[in-house]
Structure 1
Amino acid sequence: MSDDITTIIFEHPLNEKMRSWLRIENSLIQINSFSAIDSLPTALSFFRAISEFIEVLDRGEIRAELLKELEKRQKKLQQWLSFPNVDKAIVTQIIDELAENAAVLSQAPRIGQHLKQDKVISLVKQRLSIPGGCCNFDVPALHLWLSLPQTTRDERLQSWLTGLLPLQNALNSLLMLIRQSDTFKPALSHRGFYQDSAEEGELLRLKIAIDHQIYPQVSGHKNRYAIRFLPLDSENGTVPLELPFEIACC
Structure 2
Amino acid sequence: MILFEYPFNERVRALMRLEALLDRMMFFAKPGDARHHQVALAALFDLLDATERTDMKGSVLQDLERQRNVLQSLRDHPSVDPKTLAAMLVEIERVITNLNAAGKTGQELRANEWLSSLRGRLAVPGGGTQVDMPSFHAWQYRSEAQRCADLQRWMSSLMPLQAGISMVMRLLRETGQPTDAVAPQGAYQQMLAGKTYQLLRVWVDESADVFPEISANKYMVWIRYSSQDGEQRPQPVNHDVAFKMTLCAL
When normalised by structure 1's length, the TM-score is: 0.89
Rounded Cα–Cα distance in structure 1 between residues aligned with 2:218 and 2:234 = 34
CA shift for structure 1 position 37: 6.0
Letter in 1 for 2:223: I
Rounded Cα–Cα distance in structure 1 between residues aligned with 2:202 and 2:38 = 33
Rounded Cα–Cα distance in structure 2 between residues aligned with 1:115 and 1:226 = 42
The aligned counterpart of 2:241 is 243
Say if 2:186 and 2:236, in contact at 8 Å, map to a contact too.
no
Say if 1:201 and 1:222, in contact at 8 Å, map to a contact too.
yes
Say if 2:71 and 2:85, in contact at 8 Å, map to a contact too.
yes
Q: Are 2:15 and 1:17 equivalent residues in the alignment?
A: no
Rounded Cα–Cα distance in structure 2 between residues aligned with 1:57 and 1:108 = 14
The aligned counterpart of 2:226 is 230
Say if 1:9 and 1:206, in contact at 8 Å, map to a contact too.
yes
Letter in 1 for 2:120: Q
Rounded Cα–Cα distance in structure 1 between residues aligned with 2:78 and 2:234 = 55
Higher deviation after alignment, 15-24 or 88-97:
88-97
Q: Are 2:30 and 1:35 equivalent residues in the alignment?
A: yes
Say if 1:12 and 1:203, in contact at 8 Å, map to a contact too.
yes
Letter in 2 for 1:241: H
- The superposition leaves residues 143-171 of structure 1 with CA deviations (integer Å, 9 ceiling, x where unpaired) of 22223344332221111222222111111
Which contiguous aligned blocks of 4+ residues in structure 1 show a shift greater than 6 angstroms?
A: 235-238
Higher deviation after alignment, 164-173 or 208-217:
164-173
Task: Flag the 1:236–1:119 CA change in 2: closer, same or farther, 3 A.
Answer: closer
Aligned mate of 1:214, from 203, 207, 210? 210
- The superposition leaves residues 78-112 of structure 1 with CA deviations (integer Å, 9 ceiling, x where unpaired) of 12222222111101211121111111101112112
When normalised by structure 2's length, the TM-score is: 0.89
Say if 1:98 and 1:173, in contact at 8 Å, map to a contact too.
yes
Rounded Cα–Cα distance in structure 2 between residues aligned with 1:37 and 1:207 = 32
- How many residues end up aligned between the 2 structures? 243
CA shift for structure 1 position 115: 2.4
Rounded Cα–Cα distance in structure 1 between residues aligned with 2:127 and 2:175 = 45
Unpaired runs of at least 5, structure 2 = none
Q: How does 1:131-170 map to 2 (within 5 A)?
A: 131-170=125-164
The aligned counterpart of 1:203 is 199
Say if 1:48 and 1:128, in contact at 8 Å, map to a contact too.
yes
Rounded Cα–Cα distance in structure 1 between residues aligned with 2:234 and 2:25 = 37
Task: Flag the 1:224–1:113 CA change in 2: closer, same or farther, 3 A.
Answer: farther
CA shift for structure 1 position 44: 2.7
CA shift for structure 1 position 32: 0.5
Task: Flag the 1:169–1:235 CA change in 2: closer, same or farther, 3 A.
Answer: closer
Say if 2:64 and 2:96, in contact at 8 Å, map to a contact too.
yes
Higher deviation after alignment, 45-54 or 217-226:
217-226
Aligned mate of 1:88, from 82, 99, 111? 82
Say if 2:187 and 2:223, in contact at 8 Å, map to a contact too.
yes
**Quick one: percent identity of the two aligned structures?**
26
Rounded Cα–Cα distance in structure 2 between residues aligned with 1:128 and 1:109 = 26
